A and B are shown apart, each in its own frame.
Chain A
Amino acid sequence: MTDPIMRLEGVCKGYRRGGEEIQIFDRLTIDIETGAFISIMGPSGSGKTTLLNLLGGLDKPDDGRIVFDGQEIQGWGESRLAKWRAANVGFIFQFYNLMPSMSAARNVELPLLLTNYSAKERRRRVATALEVVGLSDRARHRPRELSGGQQQRVGIARAIVADPRLLLADEPTGDLDRQSADEILSILSLLNRDLNKTVVMVTHDPQAASRARQELHLDKGRFTDAQVAAQ
């Protein structure tokens, strides 16, 4: 077993909705091993998205620790978390969330604007990322000129262009047909296997989940799998 890239330890998280306090997690603990490809399934409201939010530093726990590579991040401010995300986390969204007015290449380039790379180096990295997802010939196309599967591949290229170690995918195939979904899952597998990216994928689709190396089930804020529950 390798060292965990990320560890959630005794995490509590709740929301107030309509005056009612909803407890999502109560002392949740999980280790994400370096190089893992984990799929997380579970019914709506089970806490899948909240878990991704916490892993990606988009939200903070009410209690508990979130440790990334030995550093506790739960107490960091927004600015520090933003820098950390830029360097370490790539996000893949269900609805792609591309900038509609920008070409595929410009969309992919966005995370690199947070680096000190020269324009030439940025162009090189964008070209490589698009090549990895098989969209070199669509670099100048805008999102509306691409199919759903192609848009999601641009989303993946954007997620990997800054070479983060952790990829967080929220229902990456939820809006795609079977064939496109398979293509996306193959790319994620490739990124995990060949480029050693740690992938955490939330999905409702058992077929998609089965492509991961580890399947976890979340229900009412708890992992039902004995392996994780024992941790």
Chain B
Amino acid sequence: MTDVRLILHNLFRKLVRTLLLITATMIAFLIYGTLAGFDESIEQVYSKIPADRLITVNTINFTQPLPYAYVNRVRAIEGVERASHANWFGGYYREERNQVATFAVDPETYMDVAPEIRVDPQVRDRFVGTRGAMIAPRRLAEQYGWQVGDQVSLFSNIFPRENGSYAWPFEFAGVYDIRAEYGEGGGAVLIHYDYFNEARRFGRDDVGWITIDAVSPEAADRIAEEVDALFANSRAQTETSSAAAFQRGFLEQSISIASVVTLVSTAGFATILLIVGNAMVVAIRERTREVAVLKTLGFGGVRIFRLILGESLALVLIGGALGLGLTALIFSMLSQVPGNPLPPLKLYPITIATAVGYMVLLGIVTGLIPAVGAWRLKIVTALGRE
């Protein structure tokens, strides 16, 4: 029997208590893994967005439109290499539970500012050349069985057509893929802005946002300021930021993910600290006599300290590993959901390494008090031999 076996033996001698503690730790690390993994996944995707890409939205918030005329005025600013625009359609297929993220875009220019899209040139030509066309991410098309040439009706939960119907017919022009470096998942259905704009009952000649490519990252800041200054006295003032910042802002409309990670994880870990720490103190107190016997047999204080610290470390590491494993499973399942608007979720090494760091820290802190107590335990006192 080695020390590791001795640690595991002691850990599982009270099976129910240990399983409950492991479950509590697992939940804490499931929460941490999910939140931190989500945050890191977003960061990984956004880090791929070029630094010279800007997004302009209405300064009130991104749900408020901008006049279409702004697009050409932006294009005229010095240093703007290209600009495109898009509009949120708010779509679902057949039933509302089948939500399908859909953007009405300028088909000729949108692909140039969406580097994550990889589309077959024939599909692209078919899409650009057909006003009522739509293209969709491959996984979504496969889920609903859309074939090239199919008539597909998408419902908008925002925009009715002129005739009052919320059903919008489209011709399916083909699929596109998301490039691997952007995570392969996600993506939205793309439709023609002109087709959408002419047929919608309200909001005509408005766009949701403008995407700008600057000639260089250095020019981007100046252009952002110039765009916002240009429309400072207009009915729709603008706010221009880097595309990465906009995307993060979109996700963090109501709450900062990083703050959630910090707050929830801190609360979870503090709870674990109290629960596991208290349980370890009680467990070792119950075994005071056994510790004294081990010391009598010749186990040194340092070795006893190591055994007890090893117990709390093993407990937290087992629970934490299960929590991270469960997180990976959930992420994997989420990535299989078609039409999922989230960026591809993954547990990146940095998240795993940080989690393991927290596990080691928690294991040490929770085991420290009983381990020091056992280290300093006087044999004659513990065995009642005074």
Q: Does A99 contact B (CB under 8 A)?
A: yes
> Does A71 interact with chain B (Cβ within 8 Å)?
no
Contact of A53 among B289, B290, B295, B385 (CB under 8 A): B385
Q: Does the CB pair B298–A85 fall under 8 Å?
A: yes
Residue A79 contacts which of B2, B6, B300 (CB distance < 8 angstroms)? B300
- Give Cα A99–Cα B302 distance, bound, in whole angstroms: 20
Contact A86 B1 (CB under 8 A): no
Judge whether B296 and A85 touch: CB under 8 Å: yes
Tell me if A15 counts as interface (CB < 8 A to partner B).
Answer: yes
Contact with A along B262-303 (1 / 0, CB 8 A): 000000000000000000000000000110011111111110
Within 8 A of A (CB), among B294-331: 294-302
Complex interface: chain A residues within 8 A of B297 (CB): 85-86, 91, 110-111, 114, 158
Cross-interface CB contact of B301 among A78, A91, A114, cutoff 8 Å: A78
Which residues of the partner chain B approach A59 to less than 8 Å between Cβ atoms?
Answer: 379-380, 385
A21-76 with Cβ < 8 A to chain B: 49-50, 52-53, 56, 58-59
- CB of A24, distance to nearest CB on chain B (Å): 10
Q: Which residues of B contact A91 (CB under 8 A)?
A: 296-297
A93-B295 Cα distance, complex, nearest whole Å = 14
Residues of chain A contacted by B386 (CB below 8 angstroms) = 15, 50
- Tell me whether B120 is interfacial, beta carbon within 8 Å: no
A106 on the B face (CB < 8 A): yes
Q: Complex: how many Å from CA A109 to CA B9?
A: 14
Residues of A within 8 A of B3 (CB): 113
B9:A82 contact, CB within 8 angstroms: no
Nearest CB of chain B from residue A157's CB, rounded to whole Å: 13
**Which B residue's beta carbon lies closest to that of A24?**
B386
- Asked whether A56 and B9 contact (CB < 8 A) given A78-B301, A99-B290, A106-B1, the answer is no
Alpha-carbon separation in the docked complex, A65 to B300 (Å): 23
Q: Is the CB of B385 within 8 A of A49?
A: yes
The answer to whether B13 has its CB under 8 Å from any CB of chain A is yes
Residues 153-174 of A at the B interface (beta carbon under 8 Å): 158, 170
In the complex, what's the smallest C-beta–C-beta distance from B353 to chain A, in angstroms?
33
**How far, in angstroms, from A86 to B293 measured CA to CA in the complex?**
12
What residues on B are CB-neighbors of A102 within 8 Å? Answer: 9
CA A120 – CA B268 in complex, angstroms? Answer: 45
The interface of chain B, by Cβ under 8 A from chain A, is 1-3, 6, 9-10, 13, 289-290, 293-302, 379-380, 383, 385-386
